[in-house]
Amino acid sequence: MIPITVVEFGEEVERLVLEVLRSGNLAQGARVAEFEARFAELSGVAHAIAVNNGTTSLVASLEVLDLAPGDEVITSPFTFVATLNAILEAGATAVFADISEDDFTVRPDAVRAAVTDRTRVLMPVHLYGQMADMDALAAIATESGLRVVEDAAQAHGARQGARTAGSFDLGSFSFYATKNLTTGEGGIITTNDDEIADRLRLLRNQGMRARYQYEVAGHNYRMTDLQAAIVLPQLDRYAGVLEARQSNAEILTAALADIPGIVPPLHHADRSHVWHQYTIRVTQEAGVDRDEFVSRLQEQGVGCGVYYPKMVFDYPPYRDRNDVRIGDFPVAARVVDQVVSLPVHPSLTSDDLAKIVESVAIAARAS
């Protein structure tokens, strides 16, 4: 079986983790500070604030903007449930804008149409590792006086032109076990805004400026040095990992392009895709529907995943709430029945890639 993700750590990770263990200082300390400095550099921002997971980083990003009940956050209907849960946890109202079927991210024209006088924040999702059209979205935010929180949980180090994911206003990243960079559980918020960064650091640590000097009612959102130790060596190797992912994606796209009913993912020329997932669409021209295609692929030993099988609000907890603005999103509604993510990780061999292509061709044929 070719797995959809492979998680491997070298000896350097083992050495650093052991060093933290033996130091006896497991809580947030020097390793977290080092991670923050290096992640800020990777993301081209002044500040990175590490927290305990990616959902927390989204919640904290909204909390620091002081939203009032009824304030609206515009996001994608095609995302992981954490995006929506974070908006609700922050006490805001979730509003959605339809996506483009080419790159799976929110369409700027749809976002513009969703702006009301209650809109406060745009929360685009850089799904699968390619940025939403941030140039256009940042222009809308400036025009309408909105803040931007990029859900860049899947897009560490992605770029659009010269701009990096997380550098537009606030950026939120996840280091969950399967993400491109991992701490097991972890998150980070990036920003160039000194005041926002300062308040996030307070919120993260019980609102404490100095020992027993509390400035706001805060939380415990801290990451541990043990977690930061896991990711530091991954940062050294990340450029190579991205090259491998990119090269695997190019090989797959060239080989899959001619298979009827299979649409490879669009990679915009002005964006550097970090290929967290390589996601194809199985359209009506294929001989099978998506679910049958997935079981055929698995039978042939190719691990694959469906991210995500429904629109984010299409589950019982989100129905009949006035803080979740359910609407018609025809593109997202179609795409959830078409997407399949294939292995693209750096451990793939050329034989693996050939087998994936061959299996896709067989699975897409009418029986």
Ligand X SMILES: *Cc1c(COP(=O)(O)O)cnc(C)c1O
Q: Where does this chain bind ligand X (CB under 6 A)? A: 53-55, 79-80, 82-83, 125, 151, 153-154, 174, 176, 187
Smallest gap from Cβ 82 to ligand X, in A, equals 4
- Judged by beta carbon, residue 83 or residue 190, the one nearer ligand X is 83
- Judged by beta carbon, residue 71 or residue 151, the one nearer ligand X is 151
CA of 23: how far to CAs of 179, 185, 231, 232, 344, in Å?
28, 21, 18, 17, 37
Count other C-beta atoms under 10 Å from residue 270's C-beta.
11
Q: Could you tell me where the DSSP H helices lie in 147-256? A: 194-204, 225-256
- Judged by beta carbon, residue 79 or residue 100, the one nearer ligand X is 79
- Judged by beta carbon, residue 133 or residue 261, the one nearer ligand X is 133
* CB 65, CB 121: distance < 8 Å: yes
* CB 283, CB 265: distance < 8 Å: no
Smallest gap from Cβ 364 to ligand X, in A, equals 27
The residue nearest ligand X at its CB is: 54
CA of 269: how far to CAs of 161, 165, 193, in Å?
9, 16, 29
Smallest gap from Cβ 153 to ligand X, in A, equals 3
Task: Return the ∠ at Cα 61 (arms to 233 and 5), rounded to 5°.
Answer: 40
Smallest gap from Cβ 178 to ligand X, in A, equals 8
Nearest to 332 by CA among 73, 96, 130: 96
**Residue 245 phi, psi (nearest 5):** -60, -45
Smallest gap from Cβ 129 to ligand X, in A, equals 10
Distance CA 334, CA 320 (A): 23
- Judged by beta carbon, residue 71 or residue 150, the one nearer ligand X is 150
Smallest gap from Cβ 174 to ligand X, in A, equals 3
Work out the widest C-alpha separation in the chain, in whole angstroms.
Answer: 70
- Judged by beta carbon, residue 186 or residue 264, the one nearer ligand X is 186
Q: Is 137 helix (H, G, I), strand (E, B) or coil?
A: helix
Token pair of 154 as six digits: 């899947």
Token pair of 8 as six digits: 């491997």
Count other C-beta atoms under 10 Å from residue 236's C-beta.
11
Distance CA 189, CA 222 (A): 12
- Judged by beta carbon, residue 56 or residue 359, the one nearer ligand X is 56
Q: Are strands 147-151 and 187-191 parallel, antiparallel or unpaired?
A: unpaired
Smallest gap from Cβ 223 to ligand X, in A, equals 11
Smallest gap from Cβ 228 to ligand X, in A, equals 15
- Judged by beta carbon, residue 164 or residue 174, the one nearer ligand X is 174
